Amino acid sequence: MNVPDGDAARLWSDVEALGCIGAGADGGVTRLAWTPALREASAWLARRCESLGLATTLDAAGNVVAVWGEGEAPRVTVGSHIDTVRCGGRFDGALGVLCGLEAIALLREDGHLPRRPIALVAWMDEEGSRFATPTFGSRAFAGHDLAELSDRLDADGVALPDAMAAWERPFDALADAAGLERTTAYLELHVEQGRILERADLDAGVVTAICGLLGLRVRFHGRADHAGATPMDDRRDALLAAARAIVAVEAWASAGPPELRATVGTVEARPGSFNVIPGEAAISIDVRVASDADLARAEAELRALAAAVAAAGGVEHEVAVVHALAPVPMDATMTDLLERTAAAAGAATTRLPSGAGHDAMHLAPHVPTGMLFVPSRDGISHNPREHTDPAACQLGARVLADALRELSAA
Ligand SMILES: [Zn+2]
């Protein structure tokens, strides 16, 4: 990796240093929740924060919390996560934390004196790769009751409370991590994990909402008949109906608003025999939407689509909602602030929704929350080939610094 000169050098050396912790021979980075690799990374981060004079603690949920400034006033908080997926990259999550750190360093160099404290947080276990417990730290911080997670086991049969005990963090004390009442605003920078910014040659994106998620399962019931003895005009082929539904779902989403996504990720057919017309078929439909209205409309329109396909194919059908998660809008004041500070820093931006979930979605319902995306090369993430250019990283840190300056002066 080429090390940039000048302004971006400090942030980039942090990206490189943190990226070495948990790095494998394959070039991937693996820092799973409550492992020695993540602990080493947390300790590294704590040392970096303390070198800037921040009072740094590891809270009851394993979040690294570093505070600049005195007093009990609610804090302006900036952060992201430093855990990774298995064989992940150096930027997803880590860059948001390191840009927050760089932002604080820039403000100190500028002689800024925060009137309210600024807290930098690295949330525990955003990815959830070890115990299927994503956004664990931010959920604990938001005061969610996580008691139902006590029986989670990792792939080796280690229970979550035992893994936490290795960090001297008792599972029963998780409620101590609740911190919303000490928080007045939250900002998170993250890599885009898509190609929208890169394709438009933009420096950054201001997130409007974290998309809602609708999961449907559609089953078609036809008739299993002999593949040779049944004429083509006398069939009730459930898999054929499912295939037509897949094509129709793609056309439906393509004709919708630009942030709409719909994906058929699974297909089942029964009896699953070479010479039998499929009598039963089922597909999953994963839908991402940016507003509550779009969520309701998507379900209604996909139900109608499935009914039309089934009727045309002479088969019965049923639609089940597997899961439905409402979109989480970002705060308009924070969105405007990020857009304004980005423009002042000379960054070309757009507004866009986040198709992926982030820790910010657990703070946004309670405190004014904003998110800034920086470009991901080729849109790659959760992969050792993740990359964001040093200049884009530094510009992101500058925008965070200017936004933190305003928020901490109030
Ligand atoms: Zn992430």
CA of 135 to the centre of ligand 1 (A): 9
Distance from Cα 210 to the centre of ligand 1, integer Å: 13
Place of tokens 């609740």: 178
Question: What separation in Å is there between the alpha carbon of 319 and the centre of ligand 1?
Answer: 32
Banded pLDDT at 1 (limits 50, 70, 90):
very low
Q: Is the pLDDT of residue 188 over 50?
A: yes
Q: What are phi and psi of 265, to 5 degrees?
A: -105, -15
Question: Cα(91) to centroid of ligand 1, in Å?
Answer: 8
Whether the predicted pLDDT of 158 surpasses 70: yes
Gap between the Cα atoms of 75 and 368, Å rounded: 12
Q: In the predicted model, is pLDDT for residue 2 greater than 60? A: no
Residue 379: pLDDT above 90? Answer: yes
Query: What's the distance, Cα to Cα, between the start and end of the chain in Å?
Result: 40
The first and second tokens of residue 25, run together, are 């021979």
Given a contact cutoff of 8 angstroms between Cβ atoms, the answer to whether 99 and 396 are in contact is: yes
Q: How far is the CA of 126 from the centre of ligand 1 (A)?
A: 7
**How much distance in Å is there from the Cα of 54 to the middle of ligand 1?**
24
pLDDT tens digits, one per residue of 90-134: 999 999 999 999 999 999 999 999 999 999 999 999 999 999 999
Lowest mean pLDDT among 3-12, 27-36, 365-374: 3-12
Distance in Å, CA 90 to ligand 1 centroid: 11
Share of the chain above pLDDT 70, in %: 99
- The alpha carbon of 81 and the centre of ligand 1 are apart by a number of angstroms equal to 6
Q: Which two tokens stand for residue 378?
A: 């080729």
Q: What is the dihedral of CA 296, 336, 96, 104, to 10 degrees?
A: -150
pTM more than 0.75: yes
pLDDT for 4 equals 60
* 36 CA to centre of ligand 1 in angstroms: 20
The overall average pLDDT reported for the chain is: 96
